[in-house]
Amino acid sequence: MYLEQLKEIKNLILQNDNFVLLPHVRPDGDALGSSVALALSLAKMNKNVKILLNDKVPNNLTHLDNSCIVVESLDIESQWLTESYVAIAVDCSDITRFPAFEGVYNEAILRLAIDHHKTAMPDADYYVVEPKAAATAEIIFDLIKEFEVKIDELIAIAIYTALATDTGNFTYSNVTTKTHQIASELYEIRDTFDDINNHIYSTDTVQKIKLHSEVLSRTNMFLRNRVAVASISQEQLIECGCEMQDSEGIVEKLRKIYTVEVAILLKEEEDKKIKVSMRSKNFVDVARIAQKFGGGGHTRAAGFSSELPRHDIVKMLVEDIKKQF
C-alpha cells in the first residue's frame, strides 16, 4: 500500500510544474526539514516551488536552506499563484494545521498530503501516509529516491534535521533500522553533522531558559508521580520576553523525570484556546487519548486543542490516563 501511494504521488508531481508546500503551524524540525528537502529536490527537477510558513523559522532551524521559504504571507494575487499549482500538506493532513493558507490549499488544482501520523485522516485528493516511518522525512527520502534526484549536502542537512528532531536525536521508540540506514547514507554525503546538532540543540536564549525554568518550577504531579503536567500562559510569555515557539522542549524535559510515564504541557494561545502536547514513555497510547479531543499524533507523542478551562482538561486527561495503567 505504501509503495503504491508513493508511486502515485511521484507520478502526480512529475505531471505538474508549480508547487506550494504547506507544513503545519509552528513548524518543528520534521515539518520544516521535510519541506525543505522536498522543495530543493523539486527545484532540481526544474519545478517552481514555495514553502509557505505562518510563523518565522525557529532559531534552532535557521541553518536549513531558506531559498524556497516564504514567511507569514504570500500575495495570492501574484502572477505565479494565478497559474495552476499543486498544494502539498507536509507532516500534517488536516488543513486546520495551516489556517492562514487554507484558501491557498483549497484553490489548488490538486491537493496532496505526505504524513506519518497514525491518526492522519488526509483532507487531500491523493496522499501517502506511513505510520511506520519515524518521521515524515523518511517518506520524503523514499520519494526523492523515486525521483532519482541526487541528494546533495543541503538536502542531506534537511533530512538529517527532520530525523534527529522527530526521534529525540535517535533515542525514541519510533527509531527503526531504516532510520539508521537513512542516516548512514546521509553521512556518506556529509562527513559530520556535529555542527547541525549544535545548531539544533544549542541555540537557546536567556529568555527561553528563563521561560523553561518558570514553567517547570510550577509542574504538578499526578497518579503517584507518574503523570507530570505543566502549563504556559500568555502572561508568562510576555514576562519572559518569549514567543510560544520558545516552549519547544519543555514537554520532553517533563518526560525525562524518572517516575513519569506521561508528560503533558498545556499552552494558552493568543485566542485563549489551550493547545495540549502529550508524551509517553513506555505503554500509554497518548494518540488514542488525543483523538477523543479531536486531535491525534503518535502512540508516544500526540496533541490537541481545546476551548475548555485548563483545570477541566487536566482532570479529564488524568482520568483517561489512569485507565491505561
Beta bridge partners of 88: 21, 112
Q: In what order do the strands lie in the sheet with 296-297?
A: 220-222, 227-232, 262-268, 274-280, 301-306, 296-297
Please report where in the chains the cell 508546500 appears, as a residue: 21
CA 49-51-54 angle, to 5 degrees, is 155
pLDDT of residue 325: 87
Evaluate whether 136 touches 172 at the Cβ level (below 8 Å).
no
DSSP state of 298: -
Averaged pLDDT score across all residues of the chain: 93
The cell for 87 is 498544494
Per-residue pLDDT, averaged over 294-316, amounts to 93
Q: How far apart (Å, rounded) are the C-alpha atoms in residues 228 and 222?
A: 6
- C-alpha closest to that of 155 among 188, 117, 194, 200: 188
Bridge pairing between strands 18-23 and 296-297? unpaired
User: How large is the average pLDDT for residues 88-96?
Assistant: 86
Q: Which residues pair with 279 in a beta bridge?
A: 263, 301
d(CA 49, CA 147): 16
Cα of 168 vs its chain's centroid, Å: 13
Q: What percent of the chain has pLDDT over 90?
A: 81
Residue 118 has pLDDT above 50, yes or no: yes
Q: pLDDT by residue (tens digit) across 144-179?
A: 999 999 999 999 999 999 999 999 999 988 999 999
Cα distance between residue 23 and residue 186, in whole Å: 23
Pairwise CA distance, residues 283 & 281, whole Å: 7
Q: Is 277 left (phi over 0), alpha (psi -120 to 50) or beta?
A: beta
List, for residues 244-284, the tens digit of each pLDDT value.
989 999 999 999 999 999 999 999 999 999 999 999 999 99
Contacts of 51 (CB under 8 A, 6+ apart): 21, 22, 23, 32, 35, 36, 39, 68, 69, 70
| Residue-wise DSSP of 6-23 | HHHHHHHHHT--EEEEEE
